[in-house]
Structure 1
Amino acid sequence: MKNIVHKWSQISLVKRILLGIIIGILFALTIPEATSWVSIFGSLFVGALKAVAPVLVLFLVMNAISSHKSGKKTNMKFILVLYAIGTVLAGVVGVVASFLFPVTLTLTSGAEEVAPPEGIMQVIQTLLYSIVDNPISAILNANYLGILAWAIVFGFALKKAADSTKTMIANFSDAISNIVKWVIELAPFGIMGLVFDAIYTNGLGSLVEYGQLLVLLLGSMFFVALVVNPLITLVFTRQNPYPLVLRTLRESGITAFFTRSSAANIPVNLTLCEKLGLDEDTYSVSIPLGATINMAGAAVTISVLTLATANTLGIEVDLWTAVILVVLSAVSAAGASGVAGGSLLLIPLACSLFGISNDIAMQVVGVGFIIGVLQDSCETALNSSSDVLFTATADIANKRSQG
């Protein structure tokens, strides 16, 4: 048995995940009645990732700050700039694509019971209230802004603590990191269950009616992932960006696609950063922060669906309104993780820019939920993989400037 486990662990994790995808598809097509025992693997995997991520973030950030030596530089300011550039440019791509390939919607219902934010101030208020959340409540509810805020406060408070205290925190951090590695080793089985459940529950038939909208959304996201983000990396690193881009998509984007949760993908991204040899003081903060505010995929979703609604209603959109939409999409996307329901619930906020009523806007949210099986998966894959990409870009650019 040990030999089998050893040989299994010797195979590349990506290859094992691809095998899990294939098995999940085969099971869904051949034994759909097995839903209860196959899909549970996916639920357990996502549950384990979500359970360990808040504690991991708390101790990693607390350890990084408390043990940080004065005078040692991190790249956080640079990474924040990259996050902002990436999100704004994603909004631009969504708007330009919508002008080049306009689509209209067959509006539906089904989202009226969900309450969207009433304005940009409510989004900002939600973010601020998240920061000052009770630390225990923040961990229980996976409120990563609150967890980050308390981890930073505790980290600075412990900077003058005894070395034995700092060592204990470091040991806790290492122990939780090891638990994460054990969970990630189970990814092939978890992905198998998630793929099975997605095909069994949703199928692909429900997506046919919205094919044109999906092509526009996914095409925009792929353009950001394979053209815009590599260009940003090229500008700042002055080297071929595609080996790094493809690796982040392969080792971060695939798991994010199936878990559909940036928070659940935090442990995966932290492990990838470690493999890439990045500065732990930097990535232990930038990765959980990126899962909260680096939302290029959300910016694409908000801008594309908003303009599709405007097209459906015959509303003319001028250049300056489009520019405002880009900014609004980027700012709203950064607040998406602080609003229940993610990026789709920020569509009514963007629609209000064109005077579109909340009733119609919420029908568009309903459309978003229908296509969410692919839209949300690709959006999360783009968001999460770019967290690692921009963290690595800042690290490479910093080493290049020093060398």
Structure 2
Amino acid sequence: MSEGEKKRGFMSWYFGSNLLMRILIGLILGIVAGLLFKDKILWVQPFGDLFIRLLKMIVVPVILFSLIVGTASISPYRLGKVGVKIIVYYLLTTVLAVAIGLIFANLFKPGLGLELAVGEVAGFELKKPSLVTTFLNIVPTNPVEALSKGDVLPIIFFALLFGIGLSFLLESDNEELRASAKTVYNFSNGAAEVMYKIVGGIMEYAPIGVFALVAVVLAKEGPRVIGPLATAVGTEYLAIVVHVALVYGLVLRLYGLRLTKFLAHAKEAMITAFVTRSSSGTLPVTMACAENMGIPKGIYSFTLPLGATINMDGTAIYQGVCALFIGFAVGRHMPLSDQLIIIVTALLASIGTAGVPGAGAIMLLLVLDSVGLSVDPGTPVAAAYAMILGVDAIFDMGRTCINVTGDLVGTAIVTKTEGELDISKWA
């Protein structure tokens, strides 16, 4: 169905309007309804619970197929020096990004004092897994059981191994094996695209779900939740600025490149990513910026699409900040062991985070689950997650901008180490 047909079809006034605006309107109306009607609005809670159930429904298949496709797309025989360098850079900066997000979240403590768990459903209990047990359980004894139970880290581990094995078979000299691997890859890619389409459909319901969830939270908690949420947004953007200035600035300086000159070259891609909230959609603009930086096509045509798949520095910062916001909001002060688990999970999940608007919010579900904060309908965790989701577009603009920025920084320094960067463009 074309966009024009969609706008003229059923409920065109709804589906034909901008989704971001609808979610923001749902958030605002939810705040107003919760504050005005208080207990009288609690009847909408099932509509919010339905939204949470829809999101949880798609988490496991999204993880599985996205990670398989993302990993399998990296050809083991074509990586060479450039591939190894860019992957090491992507992984290291992602770890630093989530660590910076956690540092600032610990410093500003967004969500502290909300105490959403007070007065909630009886029997709600926050799980606190052992660090050693969690790391051992990353390796599943039965992948099918892990899938059925929704155990996040074992699913990620299995999907990564499956994708790596598939990538080798795709390059096999045996034609039969190569054809079979192509079939598996095409199925996984098709399944991933189907899941993205379903995610898109679920997000059409998001304005209603956000309205219901936020209205219930405000009815129960009052206006005191607004300040901590604004603190969470401010914390993410401050962490982003520090990551750009500190991590990217130092890395570029280490290789004799200036951050100011880089930003001048990259500004079009950064602005486009900020507005569109899509790393994949910004890719043509990102490639044009790389060309202007004096990076040869032979390098950026490999590193930038790869970065749009596995390099998610902005998303990593978001995961750290929002995980701690939700922890503080429900009275769970996470120790260092939990925060290390967040770093590992955010790193692994970043490989399969689709470069489309809102994907980070889906991956946040994995990070929360890995530290025992399961987003179940009717729980304080679900209420805190709803608050994040209500302003996710604001988070998403910043994190997508930095995702794309990180891709360009990595591409520039790898090109410099290969002696192929046109330095005259940086004068």
TM-score, L = length of structure 2: 0.58
1:80 aligns with 2:91: yes
Q: What SS is found at the alignment partner of 2:118?
A: coil
- Measured against aligned partners, the alpha-carbon deviations of 1:115-145 in whole angstroms (never above 9, x if no partner) come to 523332233233x225x65379659957223
CA distance 1:190–1:40, change in 2 (3 Å) = same
User: What residue number does 1:108 align with?
Assistant: 118
CA distance 1:172–1:212, change in 2 (3 Å) = same
User: What residue number does 1:119 align with?
Assistant: 130
User: What residue number does 1:58 align with?
Assistant: 68
- How far 1:290 moved relative to its partner? 5.5
Q: Which amino acid aligns with 2:21?
A: I
1:375 aligns with 2:388: yes
Structure-1 separation of matches of 2:51 and 2:324? 35
User: What residue number does 1:96 align with?
Assistant: 107
Q: What SS is found at the alignment partner of 1:113?
A: coil
User: What residue number does 1:134 align with?
Assistant: 143
Query: Is 2:131–2:338's contact at 8 Å kept on the other side of the alignment?
Result: no
User: What residue number does 2:233 align with?
Assistant: 218
Query: Is 1:65–1:156's contact at 8 Å kept on the other side of the alignment?
Result: yes
- How far 1:85 moved relative to its partner? 1.3
User: What residue number does 1:334 align with?
Assistant: 343
CA distance 1:55–1:118, change in 2 (3 Å) = closer
Q: Which amino acid aligns with 1:219?
A: G
Q: What SS is found at the alignment partner of 1:129?
A: coil
- How far 1:224 moved relative to its partner? 2.1
User: What residue number does 1:361 align with?
Assistant: none
User: What residue number does 1:300 align with?
Assistant: 321
User: What residue number does 1:149 align with?
Assistant: 161
User: What residue number does 1:255 align with?
Assistant: none
- How far 1:78 moved relative to its partner? 0.9
Q: Which amino acid aligns with 2:93?
A: L
CA distance 1:276–1:173, change in 2 (3 Å) = farther
CA distance 1:302–1:151, change in 2 (3 Å) = closer
RMSD: 5.5
Q: Which amino acid aligns with 1:68?
A: R
Q: Which amino acid aligns with 1:371?
A: A
Q: What SS is found at the alignment partner of 1:147?
A: helix
Structure-1 separation of matches of 2:412 and 2:124? 47
- How far 1:378 moved relative to its partner? 6.0
Alignment of 1:306-385 (within 5 A): 328=337, 330-336=339-345, 368-375=381-388, 381=396, 385=400
Q: Which amino acid aligns with 1:213?
A: P
User: What residue number does 1:390 align with?
Assistant: 406
Q: Which amino acid aligns with 2:68?
A: L
CA distance 1:62–1:295, change in 2 (3 Å) = same
- How far 1:197 moved relative to its partner? 2.1
User: What residue number does 2:19 align with?
Assistant: 20
Structure 1 window deviating more from structure 2 (110-119 vs 165-174): it is 165-174
Instruction: Mark the runs of 5 or more structure 2 residues left unpaired by the alignment.
Output: 9-14, 31-40, 253-258, 288-299, 350-362, 374-378, 422-427
What's the % identity of the aligned pairs? 6
User: What residue number does 2:210 align with?
Assistant: 198
CA distance 1:44–1:84, change in 2 (3 Å) = closer
- How far 1:91 moved relative to its partner? 2.0
- How far 1:194 moved relative to its partner? 1.2
Instruction: Mark the runs of 5 or more structure 1 residues left unpaired by the alignment.
Output: 9-15, 253-267, 314-323, 350-365
Alignment of 1:155-166 (within 5 A): 155-156=167-168, 159-162=171-174, 165-166=177-178
CA distance 1:348–1:6, change in 2 (3 Å) = closer
Query: Is 1:21–1:191's contact at 8 Å kept on the other side of the alignment?
Result: no
Structure 1 window deviating more from structure 2 (53-62 vs 185-194): it is 185-194
- How far 1:176 moved relative to its partner? 6.0
State the aligned residue count: 346
Structure-2 separation of matches of 1:92 and 1:64? 32
- Measured against aligned partners, the alpha-carbon deviations of 1:207-226 in whole angstroms (never above 9, x if no partner) come to 6232332232222122223x
CA distance 1:2–1:95, change in 2 (3 Å) = closer
